[in-house]
Amino acid sequence: MKNKIALISFVVAILFISSTVVYKKHYKLVDGYMLVQNESRRNETTQWELVWEDDFNKGALDTNRWSRIDLFTSPKWQTPIDKWRSATGWNRYITSTNNEVVTFDKDNIYLRGIVNNDTINGDPRPMLTGGIYSWKKFAFQYGRIEIKAKLDAAYGSWPAIWMMSEKDIYPNQHNGEMDIMEKLNHDAFAYQTTHNHYTITLKQETPKKFNTGKIDTSGYNIYSVSWYPDKLVYAINGIETITYPKVPGAGTYQWPFDQPFYLMIDQQLEGSWPGKVTNPKELPINMVVDWVRLYQ
């Protein structure tokens, strides 16, 4: 009887070890923080495995994985404080020093857009926004990234969830961007877009680079992109909006998506796309993020 129990225990142990080894072979860890998926796991029939998540339920930012974005101090966008007006794009009002623009409850992180009530003694900008990014702390190559978020509406609002290349390995060209979610003003839909040198500099419109998907404006929605070695598949609440394929022979201008990317989640205000904040009484607004999950 003891021998039979021992044999069963041995078999169970072997099965556990085998399943663990298979799980770990889904990806390799590069430079201690980048999860690079095995390229053989490349199609929809492969079962996805959850390899990382952040539920934002600790009441504070996990600084091992995230940094707050700042116009004046973030290395990738550093701008002198007296030159803030020259930052006309998404990062015009983003700050890491104001504690009102990144807050927490027991289940969520709140990335906020607020009126700045002290432009004399502190930050000179009339509005401030909050955002986080995983640059140099967490990146991945291939897999499905999902983000569950709820978005307030206001004229001039521009919340976004997007990914940029971690290393920029291709010189003198755009190294790619995946816009998993962008929402403007009071729209009841969100944009999902692929950018690269092919679309930005060469102005190529085929294959189609973006589409929109309907969202629940009163609640949470799940935004995702499934990243394969030969295509990007975007979805909102599990409903596909667009597939952006790798074009044979087009090279890295069209497909720079063979390198690790990091994640950005930020509340934005104003810019050429959403326009001005025309009703300041709509502020403050919240971009509430419940969780981020990566499957490979």
Residue 188 near residue 214 (C-beta atoms within 8 A): yes
Catalytic one of 166, 177, 205, 240: 177
Query: Among the options 44, 182, 205, 282, which is catalytic?
Result: 182
Residue 182 designated active-site? yes
- The torsion angles phi and psi of 15, rounded to 5 degrees, stand at -65, -40
Look up 39 and say whether it is catalytic.
no
Residue pair 233/211 in contact (Cβ under 8 Å)? The answer is no
How far is Cα 118 from Cα 116, in angstroms, rounded to an integer? Answer: 6
Where b means 16+ CB within 10 Å and e means fewer, 83-96 reads: ebeebeebbbbbbb
Single-letter code of the amino acid located at 87: A
Q: Which residues are catalytic?
A: 177, 182
